[in-house]
Structure 1
Amino acid sequence: MFQSSLYSGDRTKDYELTIKQLEALIKDEPDHIANLSNASALLKQFLTDINWVGFYIWKESELVLGPFQGLPACVRIGFGKGVCGTAVKERKTQRVADVLAFPGHIACDSASRSEIVIPIIKDGQVFGVLDIDSPNENRFDETDQTYLERFVNVLERYL
């Protein structure tokens, strides 16, 4: 499931390593855009079977496209709209095995079949979301969710 030779193939250990790499990349950098850019690049390097990874930032009552890796994407997503907007509305991770079955799914890339979106909450307020898409159905499991939520927790500490 992981593409770089830096990783052992043990998902738990490899996620732990990626989280440590994230912290090393962002701990001394105050710029949010730089940190989100490096975070998306790190996840793109680490995860396989994904076709988009990036961030949407909450601005003026909607999500606005932030740093990402992948094909061009939807620029603005409304509150409660699609998987990303639902994650903001519910303030909880959305793990969708089949996006075609998700009511109101927004298809930025028709190749996407599964998705995980983790809300980023800073000081009790929505900052944005981490969004990861895959061309494979049911790509994301409980392990992915647990460690991607921990990844976001590191980001929240430094934003």
Structure 2
Amino acid sequence: MIFEQLKPQVEAITSKKSSVDERLFEICQLLEKHIHYYNWVGFYFRNRNKEELKLGPYVGTPTDHTIIPFGKGICGQVAVSNQNFVVPDVSVQDNYIACSMTVKAEIVIPIFVNGKNIGQIDIDSNTPDPFTEADERFLEFVTQKVSEILQ
């Protein structure tokens, strides 16, 4: 499976000595390139002590959603719930912030450092209902590796 093949590459990226943002961007590139239904891959992080998320490195169509208040959209809900959020069909989600008309599904996995939710990886797909439990487990692995470079 592609996820098992990507894990060593994620570990190699996170162990580099380049800047955190460069490594996060490289992870975005890796995932978007090798997983055909990952059409937008990015990171959002808590904006200092504010109750909002700020866009970090990403790959995909540019977005106007560089700041997301806690509780708004899928990302904002994950910032509050501390739980993975998989949306098979964004069109039926009440609290969804549309980034692109082509997006059909979204998955957001929180990043924890010392038990605190400090950000998340956000992935949009132009494919309806593509995400499985395997995506969740793989992205939890990715966020764990990212948390290690953020400590």
Deviations 1:20-70 (A, max 9, x none): 111111213262211211111111111102321111111122111111111
The amino acid that maps onto 1:61 is E
1:56 paired residue number:
44
Identify the residue that residue 46 of structure 1 maps to in structure 2.
34
Which stretches in structure 1 are left out of the alignment for 5+ residues?
1-10
Q: CA deviation at 1:143?
A: 1.1
Q: Out of 94, 114, 118, which is 2:109 matched to?
A: 118
**1:5-154 matches, cutoff 5 A:** 11=1, 14-29=2-17, 31-59=19-47, 60-73=50-63, 74-154=65-145
Contact 1:30 1:158 in 2 (8 A): no
For residues 85-116 of structure 1, give each alpha carbon's deviation from its aligned partner in whole angstroms, at most 9, with x where no partner exists. 11111101101100111121000111101000
Q: Give the Cα separation in 1 of the matches to 2:142 and 2:5.
A: 11
* Aligned partners of 1:98 and 1:138 also within 8 Å: yes
Q: Tell whether the 8 Å contact from 1:19 to 1:154 is kept in structure 2 after alignment.
A: no
- Count the aligned residue pairs: 147
Q: Which amino acid aligns with 1:65?
A: L
Question: RMSD of the alignment, in Å?
Answer: 1.3
Q: Unaligned 5+ residue runs, structure 2?
A: none
Q: Which amino acid aligns with 1:105?
A: Y
Q: Render the CA deviation track for 1:71-91: whole Å, top value 9, x for unaligned.
A: 111111110111111111110
